């Protein structure tokens, strides 16, 4: 009697089957909610958008003459890199640290959310914010600083920004598994700001002490900055090593993060 029931006709099994269109729908809903959520959170969005643009306005445009004719172009690459780091580090690191602490992650894991939806949604949100930052800075460079950029260069910088957010998403994810709770924003800043400084995003590397110049390649932001420089025509060196290093960083942080998430939840 039991064996006469086939799996397909068993209502108990059929009830749990999820059509592919609905799975896709769940991914979209998750992404939509994540984006809405952060667009409505000024304490996340405003600093993320304002810091790089205000810095660029001050040092790349108003005070640029003191720094030589190439300063607006040079600093465009630096501040795009600086700006792109934040949505990855904060969107992943801080939000994961908070959601691990306040029970939201546990609820999401208990619900039948498709397994990748949570991370993909955050990644999409970070990419979107990175794209907006790149567009704002490009607009300022072209219309306020009158930097002479070809269409190809703009496109290259935009692509660098949008893809360049990924290593920082992975790094944020890993940081988010290490820290927990309300102290997270401060701790992530302790990583973000020194790393930006040590990669030469605030002061050009040649102005920093020799030892700091030598260890700069340790930071992922250094490599993204090199790619951003190349996009605006200020770095004629080989690009592949930087791309590969960033891919390596992404893989390493992802691996560390998934190991910790699996072990500690």
Partner 1 sequence: MPHFDDPIARLGGVVKRYGRLTALDGAELQLRRGELLALLGPNGAGKTTAIGLLLGLIRADAGTVELFGQDPQRSQARRRIGVMLQHAALPQTLRVGELLRLTASYYPAPRALAETAALAGVGDLLQRPYAKLSGGQQRRVQFALALCGRPELLFLDEPTVGLDIEARQKLWLTIRQLIAEGCAVLLTTHYLEEAEALADRVCVMAHGRVIHEGSVDALRARVAIRRIRCRSTLAVETVRGWPEVNEAQADNQQLRISTAAAEAVVRRLLDADPGLCELEVQRAGLAEAFTELTRDADAASATDQREAA
Binding stretches for partner 1 (CB under 8 A): 2-3, 5, 10, 12-13, 15-19, 22, 25-26, 28-30, 32-33, 36-37, 40-41, 102-104, 106-107, 109-115, 265
Q: How many CB atoms lie within 10 A of CB 87?
A: 29
Instruction: Pick between residue 28 and residue 58 the one whose CB is nearest to partner 1.
Output: 28
State the nearest-atom distance from the C-beta of 15 to partner 1, in Å: 7
Q: Which is nearer to partner 1, 109 or 259 (CB)?
A: 109
Report yes or no: 187 and 88 within 8 Å, Cβ to Cβ. Answer: no
Residue-wise DSSP of 5-20:
S-TTT-HHHHHH---H
In DSSP notation, 131-146 reads HHHHHHHHHHHHHTS-
44 vs 74, beta carbon nearer partner 1: 44
User: How many CB atoms are located within 10 Å of the residue 46 CB?
Assistant: 10
What 3-state DSSP class applies to 18?
coil
Secondary element (H or E) of residue 29? helix 20-39
Helix then strand count (H, E) for the chain reads: 12, 0
Nearest to partner 1 of 32, 150 (CB atom):
32
Least Å from the CB of residue 154 to partner 1:
33
Residue number, 36 or 247, with CB nearest to partner 1: 36
**What's the CA gap between 130 and 128, in Å, rounded?**
5
Collapsing DSSP states into helix, strand and coil, what is residue 238?
Answer: coil
State in angstroms the smallest separation of the CB of 42 from partner 1: 10
For partner 1, give the closer residue by CB, 73 or 100. Answer: 100
Nearest distance from residue 52's CB to partner 1, in Å? 23
């Amino acid at each position: 009697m039991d064996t006469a029931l086939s799996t397909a006709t068993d209502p108990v099994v059929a009830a749990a089957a999820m059509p592919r269109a609905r799975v896709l729908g769940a991914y979209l809903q998750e992404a939509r909610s994540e984006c809405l959520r952060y667009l409505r959170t000024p304490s996340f969005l405003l600093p993320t958008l304002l810091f790089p643009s205000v810095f660029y306005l001050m040092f790349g445009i108003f005070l640029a003459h003191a720094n030589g004719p190439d300063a607006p172009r040079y600093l465009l690459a630096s501040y795009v890199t600086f700006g792109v780091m934040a949505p990855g580090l904060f969107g992943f690191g801080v939000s994961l640290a908070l959601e691990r602490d306040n029970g939201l992650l546990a609820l999401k894991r208990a619900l039948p959310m498709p397994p990748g939806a949570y991370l993909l949604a955050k990644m999409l949100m970070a990419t979107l914010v990175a794209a907006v930052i790149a567009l704002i800075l490009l607009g300022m460079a072209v219309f306020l600083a009158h930097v002479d950029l070809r269409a190809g260069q703009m496109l290259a910088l935009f692509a660098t920004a949008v893809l360049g957010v990924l290593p920082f998403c992975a790094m944020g994810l890993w940081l988010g598994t290490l820290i927990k709770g309300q102290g997270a924003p401060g701790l992530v800043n302790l990583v973000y700001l020194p790393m930006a400084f040590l990669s030469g995003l605030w002061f050009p590397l040649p102005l920093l002490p020799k030892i700091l110049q030598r260890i700069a390649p340790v930071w992922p932001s250094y490599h993204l900055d090199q790619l951003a420089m190349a996009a605006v025509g200020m770095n004629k060196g080989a690009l592949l090593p930087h791309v590969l290093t960033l891919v390596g960083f992404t893989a390493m942080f992802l691996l560390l993060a998934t190991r910790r998430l699996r072990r500690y939840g």
